[in-house]
Structure 1
Amino acid sequence: MQQVVDFIHDLKFEALPERVVWQAVACLFDLTGVAVAGHTTRLGKIMERFVCEQFPGEVPLLFSARTASACGAALFGGMLIDSVDAHDGQVLTKGHVGVAILPALLAAAHGRELDGREFLTTLVMGYEIATRAGIALHATAADYHTSGAWNGIGVAAVVARLHKLDRQQTQEALGAAEFYGPRSQMMRCIDHPTMVKDGSGWGALAGISSALLAGAGFTGAPAVTLAAAEVAPIWNDLGQRWYILEQYFKAYPVCRWAQPAVEAVRQLRPRLGADLGQIREIHIHTFHEGTRLHTVQPGTTEQAQYSLPFSVAAALMDDTIRPQAIAETEQGLYHPARQSLSARVICHEEARYNALFPAERWAHARIILNNGEELVSEPAIARGNPENPLVQAELEDKFDTLTQGLLPDDIGRRLKQRVRELPAMDAGALSEYIALLSTSVTGSSRTQA
Structure 2
Amino acid sequence: MSTTSPGLVPASVLLAEPRPDWLAHWARFATGFSVDKLPPSLLAQAKLVMLDCIGAMAAGMQETENAALAGRLARRGRGEVAAIGAGVALRGDDAAFVNGIAGTALELDEGNQFARGHPGIHVLPAALATALANGRSGAELLTAFILGYEIGARVGAACRLRPSVHPHGTWGTIGAAFATALMEGADETRLAETINVAATMSVGASLSAMLEGATARNSYCGLSNRNGMAAWDLVASGFTGERDCVGSVYGSILAEGFSPAGMTKELGTRFEIERNYFKRHAACRFTHAALDVVVRLVAENGTLAPEAIESIEVATYAMAAQLDGPEPHNVLAARFSLPFAIATTLVNGEASVHAFREPSLSDARIRDLARIVRVREHADYTALLPAMRPAAVTVRLRDGRVLSGETLTNRGDAVDPFTADEVRAKFRDLAAPVWGETHAERVHAAVETIDTAENLTGLNGLLTEPAIKDR
1:56 Cα deviation from its structure 2 partner: 5.5
Counterparts of 1:99 and 1:436 in 2: how far apart (Å)?
19
SS in 1 for 2:392: strand
The correspondence for 2:235, drawn from 208, 214, 220, is 214
Number of residues of Structure 1 aligned to a counterpart in Structure 2: 439
The correspondence for 1:431, drawn from 433, 437, 457, is 457
Counterparts of 2:375 and 2:302 in 1: how far apart (Å)?
20
CA gap 1:255/1:398 in 2 versus in 1, 3 angstroms: same
CA gap 1:383/1:300 in 2 versus in 1, 3 angstroms: same
| One-letter amino acid of the structure 1 residue matched with residue 434 of structure 2 | L
Equivalent residue number for residue 119 of structure 2: 97
Counterparts of 1:360 and 1:197 in 2: how far apart (Å)?
26
Q: Report the structure number with the largest CA radius of gyration.
A: 2
Whether 1:133 and 2:163 are equivalent positions in the alignment is no
Contact 2:82 2:460 in 1 (8 A): no
Counterparts of 1:394 and 1:317 in 2: how far apart (Å)?
24
Contact 1:59 1:67 in 2 (8 A): yes
SS in 1 for 2:42: helix
Equivalent residue number for residue 427 of structure 2: 399
Counterparts of 1:142 and 1:250 in 2: how far apart (Å)?
23
Query: How do residues 120-269 of structure 1 correspond to structure 2 at under 5 angstroms?
Result: 120-138=142-160, 144-186=165-207, 188-197=208-217, 199-225=220-246, 231-236=259-264, 237-269=266-298
Counterparts of 2:143 and 2:79 in 1: how far apart (Å)?
27
Q: CA RMSD in A?
A: 2.3
1:409 Cα deviation from its structure 2 partner: 4.2
Query: How do residues 215-364 of structure 1 correspond to structure 2 at under 5 angstroms?
Result: 215-225=236-246, 231-236=259-264, 237-269=266-298, 270-273=300-303, 275-327=305-357, 329-330=358-359, 332-364=360-392
SS in 2 for 1:149: coil
Counterparts of 2:143 and 2:322 in 1: how far apart (Å)?
38
Counterparts of 1:409 and 1:377 in 2: how far apart (Å)?
37
Q: Runs of 5+ in structure 1 lacking a partner?
A: none
Contact 2:347 2:366 in 1 (8 A): yes
SS in 2 for 1:3: helix
Contact 1:364 1:377 in 2 (8 A): yes
CA gap 1:302/1:273 in 2 versus in 1, 3 angstroms: closer
1:153-174 CA-to-partner distances (Å, cap 9, x unmatched) read: 0111111111112333333322
Identity of paired residues, percent? 24
SS in 2 for 1:184: coil
CA gap 1:163/1:38 in 2 versus in 1, 3 angstroms: same
Contact 2:342 2:370 in 1 (8 A): yes
| One-letter amino acid of the structure 2 residue matched with residue 149 of structure 1 | T
The correspondence for 2:403, drawn from 375, 388, 392, is 375
Between 1:177-186 and 1:274-283, the stretch displaced more is 274-283
| One-letter amino acid of the structure 1 residue matched with residue 138 of structure 2 | G
| One-letter amino acid of the structure 2 residue matched with residue 242 of structure 1 | F
Contact 2:48 2:424 in 1 (8 A): no
Contact 1:137 1:225 in 2 (8 A): no
Counterparts of 2:422 and 2:449 in 1: how far apart (Å)?
20
Counterparts of 1:425 and 1:59 in 2: how far apart (Å)?
17
SS in 2 for 1:64: coil
Whether 1:26 and 2:48 are equivalent positions in the alignment is yes
1:357-378 CA-to-partner distances (Å, cap 9, x unmatched) read: 2331110111111123221113
1:137 Cα deviation from its structure 2 partner: 4.0
1:403 Cα deviation from its structure 2 partner: 2.6
Counterparts of 2:150 and 2:107 in 1: how far apart (Å)?
22
1:413 Cα deviation from its structure 2 partner: 1.6
| One-letter amino acid of the structure 1 residue matched with residue 409 of structure 2 | I
Contact 1:283 1:366 in 2 (8 A): yes
1:126-182 CA-to-partner distances (Å, cap 9, x unmatched) read: 11111112223427x686442311101011111111111233333332212100110
Whether 1:440 and 2:466 are equivalent positions in the alignment is yes
Counterparts of 1:136 and 1:23 in 2: how far apart (Å)?
23
SS in 2 for 1:45: helix
Query: How do residues 54-73 of structure 1 correspond to structure 2 at under 5 angstroms?
Result: 57-73=79-95
| One-letter amino acid of the structure 1 residue matched with residue 216 of structure 2 | V
Counterparts of 2:370 and 2:334 in 1: how far apart (Å)?
10
| One-letter amino acid of the structure 1 residue matched with residue 48 of structure 2 | A
| One-letter amino acid of the structure 2 residue matched with residue 398 of structure 1 | K
Contact 1:83 1:197 in 2 (8 A): no
Counterparts of 2:71 and 2:285 in 1: how far apart (Å)?
29
